[in-house]
Amino acid sequence: MKQIENVSRRGFLKKLGISSTALVLGVQLPSMLTIPKALAGVAGTEKFAPNVYVQIGADNIVSIVVHRSEMGQGIRTSIPMIVADELGADWQKIAVVQGLGDKKYGSQNTDGSRSVRRFYQPLREAGASARMMLQQAAANQWQVDVNETSAVNNTIVHEKTGRALSFGSLVTAASMLTLPETSSLKLKAKADFNFIGKSDVALVDGEKIVTGATTYGFDVELDNMQYAVVARPPVLGAKVKSFDAEAAKAIAGVIAVVQLPDLTEPVVFKPLGGVAVIAKNTWAAIKGREALAIQWHESKHQSYNSDEYKKALAKSCDEPAKILRTKGDVSKALSEAKQVLNASYYVPELIHVPMEPPAAAAHFHDGVFDIWACTQTPQSAQASVAQSTGVAVEDVHINVTLLGGGFGRKSKPDFVVEAAILSKQLNVPIKVMWTREDEIQNGFYHAVSYQKLAAGLDSSGSVIAWQHHVAEPPIGSTFSKGADLIATEANLGLIDMPFDIANVSCAAGKAPAHTRIGWMRSVTNINHAFAIGSFVDEIAHAKGLDSKDHLLSMLGKDRKIDFSLENAEYGNYGETLEKFPVDTARMKAVIEKVSAMAKWGRKLPKGHGLGIAMHRSFVSYVACIVEVSENSDGKISVDDVWMAVDCGLAVNPERIRSQMEGAAIFALSYSFYSELTAKNGVIEQNNFDNYQIARFADAPTTHVEIIDSDAPPGGVGEPGVPPIAPAICNAIFNATGKRYRELPLKQYGIV
Amino acid sequence: MITLTINGKAHQFNDDGDMPLLWALRDILKYTGTKYGCGKGLCGACTVHVDGQPIRACITPVSAVAKQKITTIEGLSKQGEHVVQQAWQALNVAQCGYCQSGQIMSAVALLERNAKPNDQDIELAMSGNICRCGTYQRIKQAIHHAADLATEVKGS
């Protein structure tokens, strides 16, 4: 039987090889609790509460714990780069260890584009304090001033005398020293970085990926493990009426049929209910599920029909129930305007479709759970399993596998709970796998949205009024039954509209949810940036101005915007405006940069068009220009995409570029193809043939440049997504004269 | 009893002959490098070679490939030394990596029948493989790079 790499808590520590000859360090964050006992005993620093461990063994191997989930963003490479740089480590001597789910690490929620944003400084400090202790240990041995030593390639050197000691040989002595105070840490200067900001670091998992040797959630194999699929309600909240367990059990290989508890709203991260079929292999489980002949009770959510729902959203936009930002008097300004422009935008319900659907393997034994899952949030998985099964949180061990894509779906651990419930009930290790149909039809969806915008122009053509009304079912409905008004979604590209306009109003109408609403890569920035980025371009054309020049002029003077002065509660992605300002100068800089890259203003062949858009999200700034062309059949292709990104200091430029390339494709998918529709509460799409995403021939050439910056690192995984769709539609307008305000574009027959 | 020859090794398979090769590989024989993505032959994550031809293991019954030569990602080079694996690593193609087994198997099959594919050849050969992370651009570069590497290897 194949052995999986990650092991449970006890095994984890054993694997780390904690011993008296190991130096273990932690980083203190204010929100953290205590160090695990086994480690505390070694470090002797119980007051320290790490979120990242650096362990250096006598064998000269530097083990770095990555406590965030790897889902393609490259965090298993970027975290070690940060730590190793400050430490002065030899990249060839680094072992990357995936951290278990444990609140002792601080937040492990790998979402919101914040792994580097939140942990850059603590990770540097972890590396620096380890390095300084090793330096001190060497200085003591040599009887020299510690300032005469330095760390290079896992070695402390004394340049004056040419003496050198390996990290490994200093472990015992360094372990006796007290940890330096944070205030005394000497961090490297940017010019001295060996890894941070460099593009030549190979992916930590690169070789394993190309040899098929990695372990994703779907790949976990345990001794005596059985395979399960679950028949879940086709309509949210529908309870099981009847099913034929015997027919399922008659399928060769089927071992058990288990009815799961019915769901009660709010859904939170609870399983949806339904009936599980457990078998000796996946194929038997799938065939068994087909034989169940399940009947379902009715659910109130079967009233959900996409066509009617769209009309209701449009109406709701006209009846705003919550004002989110007000500056000046928009109504008055619109009534006095020389010209008023109106436009409505629609983005359908969407789903993540990571190439690996959700999967989790659970083994309940001796009162504890050992669980392996492709989760973005091991701690909420832990808490959810504990809550659903009555097992204490500390007895739920969540091993994080690699994730075959996440995009927000795997932040919701319902699938982990399913595996736990089944393993506890059947007393065998169980792997629950979601098929593609399950993933599409029972997801946590990106909310469908309708938006109505109005702009008032005075006699000189200046925009004096901006009104933006939205209706979209809220993520809050997942956590609070019946919630029908957006909350934090407003922070994502709606109330932070940056144009310099005297009268502004942003408001939301009610929108009851009929499916589970979740967050998907860049979340409601998708809708809001599409509407704002398209509408500002429409205004430019109405005024007969160049799109780029107009965009720059709309941003006004260089300034840092405080939306609280305009009656808006702006969250700024959990960051302060002092550290991460909303800076129009940086917005203009990415626009200028991308314009130079794409040679904006150049003469284009017939049927070609350029489109531009800029959006700030997750405290980073991305401007993009898209070139499209129309062929003789009237079909549009996206040929090139240029992206300029200012994400503050670029820790791993190579992965920043890859994230931008991927973001362009992600956005191209929903711009061109992706759409979910509901009929009587049932999602009508179920696989890649009817829920399409971009394929090879759709892919443009994407050119990425990163603004050189010393600002604190911002988000990277999501900010590339929002500006792409408006840039595509703006480009199509320039190529064809046709303005498209509803996605996906396939409905118009142009792709 | 069905004999499955995988990466040169013979395995006896005693289960349902209708079982798709994907689940036989993964669940029964523990070759987990071949991935599930759709179960309908729509995404290419499960691509393996049968007698050198790329096929979708998720829709190919075990009974259809008895006695044929099956090659999975594990059968290319365990050390990642195949030119395609080398090119993938050199260009840091992978993001999450999940679809890359299938992408690589499709790319290897392409290069075996067309040593110097152009962009259109690549788009056609790779059209059945989806990557949600959006690595298509690098895959294309990597296939060209692998073609160059193969030429160098032959020439040296």
A222 and A207 assigned to the same domain: no
pLDDT digits (tens, 9 = 90+) for A692-710: 999 999 999 999 999 999 9
Pairing relationship of beta strands A463-471 and A503-509 according to DSSP bridges:
parallel
A550 and A586 assigned to the same domain: yes
- Residue A114 reports pLDDT greater than 80: yes
* Cβ count near B153 (within 10 Å): 10
Q: Does residue A335 form part of some domain?
A: yes
Q: Which CATH number fits the domain B83-155, given the four candidates 1.10.150.120, 3.40.640.10, 3.90.1200.10, 1.10.1330.10? A: 1.10.150.120
pLDDT digits (tens, 9 = 90+) for B79-92: 999 999 999 999 99
- Residue A40 reports pLDDT greater than 90: no
DSSP class of residue B27 equals I
* Nearest chain B CA: its distance from A585 CA (Å): 31
Domain boundary among A211, A235, A250: A211
* Distance between start and end Cα atoms, chain B: 46
pLDDT digits (tens, 9 = 90+) for A421-431: 999 999 999 99
Short-list A745, A679, A697, A720, CA closest to A301: A679
Distances (CA, A) of A321 to A303, A331, A511, B25, B35: 22, 16, 10, 55, 47
Instruction: Work out the average pLDDT over A107-113.
Output: 91
What's CA A301's distance to the chain center, in Å? 28
A126 and A168 assigned to the same domain: yes
Domain span at residue A64 reads 9-211
According to CATH, what is the number of the domain B2-75?
Answer: 3.10.20.30
Q: Does residue A396 form part of some domain?
A: yes
* Distance between start and end Cα atoms, chain A: 47
What's CA A99's distance to the chain center, in Å? 19
Instruction: Work out the average pLDDT over A178-204.
Output: 93
Q: Does residue A438 form part of some domain?
A: no
- Residue A31 reports pLDDT greater than 70: no
User: For residue A246, what are its two tokens?
Assistant: 């015997």
The percent of residues above 70 in pLDDT, for chain A, comes to: 93
- Residue A1 reports pLDDT greater than 80: no
Q: Does residue A501 form part of some domain?
A: yes
Which chain A residue has the Cα nearest residue B88? A210
Q: Does residue A4 form part of some domain?
A: no
| pLDDT value at residue B154 | 73
Which chain B residue has the Cα nearest residue A282? B23
Segment holding A313, helix H or strand E: helix A306-317
Q: In this complex, which of A205, A218, A695 lies closest to B97 when CB atoms are compared?
A: A205
Q: Which amino acid is at A593?
A: K
A516 and A626 assigned to the same domain: yes
- Which pLDDT band, with edges at 50, 70 and 90, does A674 fall under? very high
Chain B residues lying within 8 Å of A356, measured CB to CB:
35-37, 96, 98
- Which pLDDT band, with edges at 50, 70 and 90, does B128 fall under? very high
* Nearest chain A CA: its distance from B59 CA (Å): 11
- Which pLDDT band, with edges at 50, 70 and 90, does A10 fall under? very low
CB contact under 8 A, A701 and B137: yes
Q: In this complex, which of A210, A283, A701 lies closest to B100 when CB atoms are compared?
A: A210
| pLDDT value at residue A176 | 85
A407 and A497 assigned to the same domain: no
A143 and A273 assigned to the same domain: no
pLDDT digits (tens, 9 = 90+) for A210-231: 999 999 999 999 999 999 999 9
| pLDDT value at residue A606 | 96
A718 and A572 assigned to the same domain: yes
Secondary structure string (H, E, C) spanning A179-210: CCCHHHCCCCCHHHCCCCCCCCCCCCCHHHHH
* Nearest chain B CA: its distance from A12 CA (Å): 23
Distances (CA, A) of A471 to A249, A292, A506: 46, 39, 11
- Which pLDDT band, with edges at 50, 70 and 90, does A12 fall under? very low
A621 and A636 assigned to the same domain: yes
- Residue B71 reports pLDDT greater than 70: yes
A533 and A628 assigned to the same domain: yes
Distances (CA, A) of A643 to A469, A547, A659: 29, 16, 11
CATH code, domain with A201:
3.30.365.10
CB contact under 8 A, B97 and A209: yes
Instruction: Work out the average pLDDT over A603-619.
Output: 98
Q: In this complex, which of B39, B99, B139 lies closest to A435 when CB atoms are compared?
A: B39
Number of structural domains found in chain A: 3
| pLDDT value at residue B67 | 87
User: For residue A247, what are its two tokens?
Assistant: 């027919």
CATH 1.10.150.120 domain locations along chain B:
83-155
pTM: 0.94
A193 and A231 assigned to the same domain: no
User: For residue A510, what are its two tokens?
Assistant: 């009610």
| pLDDT value at residue A415 | 98
Segment holding A537, helix H or strand E: helix A525-543
A136 and A268 assigned to the same domain: no
Best mutation target among B23, B27, B70 (most A Cβ atoms within 10 Å) is B27
Q: Which amino acid is at A313?
A: L
Q: In this complex, which of A211, A355, A700 lies closest to B85 when CB atoms are compared?
A: A211
| pLDDT value at residue A52 | 56
SS3 A223: coil
- CA gap A23, A55 in Å, rounded: 5
* Nearest chain B CA: its distance from A63 CA (Å): 22
CA angle, residues A613, A618, A624, in degrees to nearest 5: 20
* Nearest chain A CA: its distance from B83 CA (Å): 11
CATH 3.10.20.30 domain locations along chain B:
2-75
SS3 A326: strand
* Nearest chain B CA: its distance from A70 CA (Å): 7
Q: In this complex, which of A73, A282, A696 lies closest to B123 when CB atoms are compared?
A: A696
pLDDT digits (tens, 9 = 90+) for A431-450: 999 999 999 999 999 999 99
User: For residue A64, what are its two tokens?
Assistant: 């770095």
| pLDDT value at residue A17 | 32
Chain A residues lying within 8 Å of B30, measured CB to CB:
1-2, 221
- CA gap A129, A52 in Å, rounded: 12
Q: Does residue A439 form part of some domain?
A: no
CA dihedral A101, A105, A106, A112 (to 10 degrees): -60
Short-list A495, A508, A488, CA closest to A466: A495
A647 and A662 assigned to the same domain: yes
Cβ atoms of A330 and A441 within 8 Å: the answer is no
CB contact under 8 A, B32 and A227: no
Q: Does residue A1 form part of some domain?
A: no
Q: Does residue A460 form part of some domain?
A: yes
**CB pairs A-B closer than 8 Å:** 193
Instruction: Work out the average pLDDT over A509-517.
Output: 98
